[in-house]
Amino acid sequence: MTTQGVPLRAAVLGSGSWGTTFAAVMADAGCDVTVWGRDAATVDEIARDGRNTRYLPGIDLPAGVTATHDVRAAVADVDVVAVAVPSQRARDVLAPLADALSPRAAVVSLMKGVELGTDQRMSEVVAQSLGIAPARVAVLSGPNLAREIALRQPTATVVASTDDATARLVARACASSYFRPYTNPDVVGVELCGAVKNVIALAVGISQGRGMGFNTMATVITRGLVEITRLGLALGADAETFPGLAGMGDLMATCASPDSRNHTLGVHLGRGMTLDAAVVATGGTAEGVKSCRSVLELATSLGVEMPITSAVVRVLHEGLPVDDLAGLLLARPHRAEGV
């Protein structure tokens, strides 16, 4: 992608599965992309061999992707900075870069979590820790399992920003023959969808680990979407976001795919593993493990009922046996369907 014939320059912070994949997406869209990661061996392998065998085994990255150890240089002269570190680490990574960030750069959060302690969404963390206006920040969220995209399988996503020019810039930086971004001004809704679907995927995984089938899965997904919508509306989100790609789309992908870390971790818990063992067995970043607590805190502060999220917090962090999860949800008072 070019501006007046010059390719857009982009940096990606985070050399894990999604950061590396999104770098490839932007390179395929025509950008010059530099990945920064904290792991020296991964950075060297990306720069030298065009591969990241730890996170994307068997994938060759496009020629437009390189990598650096120097994070300040990476963000100094770029049009777009994409952030793909675990949500709970974003503030630590970004705050030291406030005076190094290119003044023209839009910053797009690829992260799907809510910060513990502050209950802030990632776009809020990005703007605050870098000291930039919210108009320079975008979030990207949708049914975007990294490995499928690294294999260039077609998918779509949502790029949300309060500033349409920022959303369009980020969309242009990543649009390709297999990756189709839609813009949306509803930052709150898009971001909440991405964070809370991870919690719902944990619940679905637990039910599958207990041997339950598709009726249970469909019930949890559908009622999960209701509680995501309830929280979003309380925070001023647009009701149209929730049945879209960032809402129902991502819920379907994450709750159905064995590639999802949140889903997989839930299955391990359902089969009787402890949380610590399940985290190790899953590997990678399963954001719902921590974000379930901040999401529930946010909901409680607003008086919003989120029974599935609450049940997941009780199983993961308060010792509720997995066998008691379904009973807890089904014993609630009967009510009319709807948000």
Ligand X SMILES: O=C(CO)COP(=O)(O)O
Contact set with ligand NDP (CB under 6 A): 14-19, 37-39, 42, 55, 84-87, 89, 92-93, 110-113, 144-146, 284-285, 287
Q: How far is the CB of 131 from ligand X (least distance, A)?
A: 28
Tokens, residue 24:
């490839």
Torsion 160-83-194-91 (CA) sign: negative
Tokens, residue 305:
């009922």
Task: Give the Cα separation of 221 and 191 in Å (integer).
Answer: 18
113 binds, among ligand NDP, ligand X, none (CB under 5 to 8 A by kind): ligand NDP
DSSP letter for 85, please. Answer: S
Q: How far is the CB of 275 from ligand X (least distance, A)?
A: 16
DSSP character string of 100-134: TS-TT-EEEE----B-TTT--BHHHHHHHHHT--G
- Tokens 């591969």, residue? 51
Output the known binding site for NADPH. Answer: 17-18, 38, 55, 112, 146, 261, 287
Active-site choice (9, 91, 121, 197): 197
143 binds, among ligand X, ligand NDP, none (CB under 5 to 8 A by kind): ligand X
Q: How far is the CB of 141 from ligand NDP (least distance, A)?
A: 7
88 binds, among ligand X, ligand NDP, none (CB under 5 to 8 A by kind): none
Q: How far is the CB of 112 from ligand NDP (least distance, A)?
A: 4
Q: Is 197 a catalytic residue?
A: yes
CB-nearer residue toward ligand NDP: 127 or 233: 127
267 binds, among ligand X, ligand NDP, none (CB under 5 to 8 A by kind): none
Which value, to the nearest 10 degrees, does the dihedral of the CA atoms of residues 164, 165, 169, 171 take?
20
Q: How far is the CB of 178 from ligand X (least distance, A)?
A: 15
Binding-site ranges for ligand X (CB under 6 A): 112, 143-145, 198, 201, 250, 253-254, 260-263
Q: CA angle, corner 95, sides to 124 and 189, nearest 5?
A: 15
Task: Give the Cα separation of 333 and 329 in Å (integer).
Answer: 9
Closest residue to bound ligand NDP by CB = 16
CB-nearer residue toward ligand NDP: 21 or 210: 21
CB-nearer residue toward ligand NDP: 107 or 146: 146
Supply φ then ψ for residue 186, to 5 degrees.
-85, 80
Task: Give the Cα separation of 219 and 89 in Å (integer).
Answer: 33
55 binds, among ligand NDP, ligand X, none (CB under 5 to 8 A by kind): ligand NDP
Torsion 311-315-321-326 (CA) sign: positive
Output the known binding site for sn-glycerol 3-phosphate. Answer: 112, 142, 197, 250, 260-262
CB-nearer residue toward ligand X: 171 or 201: 201
Interacting residues of 247 by C-beta distance below 8 A, sequence separation 6+:
189, 193, 197, 225, 228, 229, 241
Known catalytic residues are: 197
